[in-house]
Amino acid sequence: MGTPGADAQVLTCSTAGVPPVEAFDHWRDLISDTFVPLTATPTSGRPFRGELRVVTHPAVQLTEVRAAGQHVRRTRSLIAGSSEDYLLASIQLGGRGRVEQDGRTAELTPGAMSFYDSTRPYTLHFDDAFEQLVVQLPRRPLLAAAGIGDDAVHVTAIALHAEGPGSVLAGFFASLSLLHDRDPVGARQLSAHAPGLLASALRLAAGDRPVGADGAALDRERVLAHLRAHAADPGLDADAVARACHLSRRALFRLFEGRADSFADTLRALRVERAAALLVARPDRSVAAVGTACGFAGEAQFHRAFRAVTGRTPAEHRGGTRRQ
C-alpha cells in the first residue's frame, strides 16, 4: 500500500518473455507478491499468459488483471504463514468467474463486484480468459468505516450486479484505474474518496438498503462518486447522472435541496477543483486546454466558473501559485 501524501506508483508485470514451461509458476509468484500468498493452477494445458498493472495510490491499491483461465486459492496454511489483513474487491471487466468464501459463491459477470477477506480461505475461479480490477485496502479500517463487525462474514462472496446501485461504485474504481495515465492529478484527488466509497459498497453487500435520511445519504454519496469520476466529461448533466445512478431527475435534485450548493454548483466546483490542480501541475498546457480537459465547454465558460468559485481567473491562480 502507498504512503500518505505520496504520488501514485505504477508497476506492470507479466509472463511475457518467460519460457512457456515456467510461465504459470512465474504468474503464481506475481499474484502472491501483488495480493497475498496464494496457490493457483491453470485451467487448460495451453500456453499461459497473464499481465498485472498495479496502481498504488496513498489510500488504495488498484490492480488490473488480464489472464488466461485459472483456479486460485487462499488456503488455511497460507493464512497461518502470513500476516496480511486485507479486504479485496474484484470488479469483473471481461469474461466470467466466481468467488467462493464463507459458504457462498458469487458469480462474476462483466460489471459485477464482490468482496473477499484475506484472513479466511477463499477461491477464485476462471474457466477462460478474463479481465478484472481488484481493489485492495486494509481490512480493519475499512470495516470500521462501514460500521461492520470485525469478522465480515456476511459481506463476502456476494455479487453486487451491474444493474444495481453497486454499478456506480464499480464504475468509479474502473474509471480511477484508467485515469492515472491521462490525468494523474485528477486520479490523486479522486483516490482520496476510495475508502469511503468502498465502505458504501460493503454496506450494500451486507444487505443494508437504508430508507429515509440514511437512504438519501447513500444516494447522495453514489451521485458524488459519479460526479467525481466523470466531471471531465463536458456532456455530463443531470439526466446522465440520474440514469447512471438509477434515480429519477426529481429524486436527484431532491438530494441537493436545503444545501448550500445545488447540483450544478457541485459539478462546477468539482471541475474547478480539478482545473486548479492541473493549472499548477501542468504549466505547459494553455488555460483553454486545461478548461477543456476538466469538462468546460469553452474558455469563456471556464473563466466565469473559475472566478465564481475561487474569486480569481485561471491565469491569476497559476501565476499566484508560482510566486508562493
CATH for 278? 1.10.10.60
Alpha helix positions (H), 206-298: 212-230, 238-244, 249-254, 263-281, 287-293
Same domain, 42 and 144: yes
* Residue 70 backbone phi and psi in degrees, to 5: -165, 160
Same domain, 179 and 71: yes
Same domain, 76 and 133: yes
Same domain, 105 and 253: no
225 domain-assigned: no
SS3 145: helix
Domain, as residue range, for 48 = 9-191
Domain end residue (candidates: 168, 191, 214): 191
Across residues 163-175, what is the average pLDDT? 75
* Residue 206 backbone phi and psi in degrees, to 5: -75, 0
Query: Is 15 a residue whose pLDDT tops 70?
Result: yes
Query: Is 140 a residue whose pLDDT tops 80?
Result: yes
| Helices and strands (DSSP H and E) totals, the chain | 13, 11
Instruction: For residues 52 and 67, give the distance between their C-alpha atoms in angstroms, rounded to a whole number.
Output: 8
Same domain, 157 and 241: no
Domain end residue (candidates: 172, 191, 210): 191
Cα–chain-centroid distance for residue 124? 20
178-194 tens-digit pLDDT: 777 777 777 877 888 88
> Comparing C-alpha atoms, which of 195, 209, 102, 109 is closest to residue 156?
102
Query: Is 321 a residue whose pLDDT tops 50?
Result: yes
Same domain, 61 and 152: yes
* Per-residue confidence (pLDDT) for residue 67, from 0 to 100: 98
211 domain-assigned: no
48-93 tens-digit pLDDT: 999 999 998 888 899 999 999 999 999 999 999 988 899 999 999 9
- pTM (2 d.p.): 0.70
**Contact by Cβ (8 Å): 252, 241:** yes
Virtual CA dihedral for 70, 71, 76, 81, nearest 10 degrees? -10
Confidence band for 165, pLDDT divided at 50, 70 and 90: low
Query: Is 209 a residue whose pLDDT tops 50?
Result: no
**Contact by Cβ (8 Å): 106, 166:** no
Confidence band for 14, pLDDT divided at 50, 70 and 90: very high
Long-range interactions of 147-153: CB distance < 8 A, separation 24+: 147/203, 148/202, 148/203, 148/206, 152/87, 152/115, 152/117, 152/202, 153/102, 153/120
The set of cell numbers assigned to 222 is 453514489
Same domain, 124 and 269: no
Domain end residue (candidates: 136, 160, 191): 191
211-242 tens-digit pLDDT: 445 557 767 877 888 898 889 999 999 999 98
The DSSP output letter for 297 is: S
Instruction: For residues 287 and 122, give the distance between their C-alpha atoms in angstroms, rounded to a whole number.
Output: 50
Instruction: For residues 72 and 52, give the distance between their C-alpha atoms in angstroms, rounded to a whole number.
Output: 15
What share of the chain has pLDDT > 90, as a percent?
Answer: 59
The DSSP output letter for 48 is: P
* Per-residue confidence (pLDDT) for residue 322, from 0 to 100: 53
SS3 301: helix
Place of cell 477463499: 122
Query: Across the chain, what does the average pLDDT equal?
Result: 88
Same domain, 263 and 316: yes
50 domain-assigned: yes
47 domain-assigned: yes
201 domain-assigned: no
* Per-residue confidence (pLDDT) for residue 7, from 0 to 100: 61
- Ranges of beta strands (E only) in 6-96 are 9-14, 39-42, 50-56, 61-67, 70-74, 86-94
265-315 tens-digit pLDDT: 999 999 999 999 999 989 999 999 999 999 999 999 999 999 999 999 999
Number of compact structural domains in the chain: 2
CATH for 78? 2.60.120.10
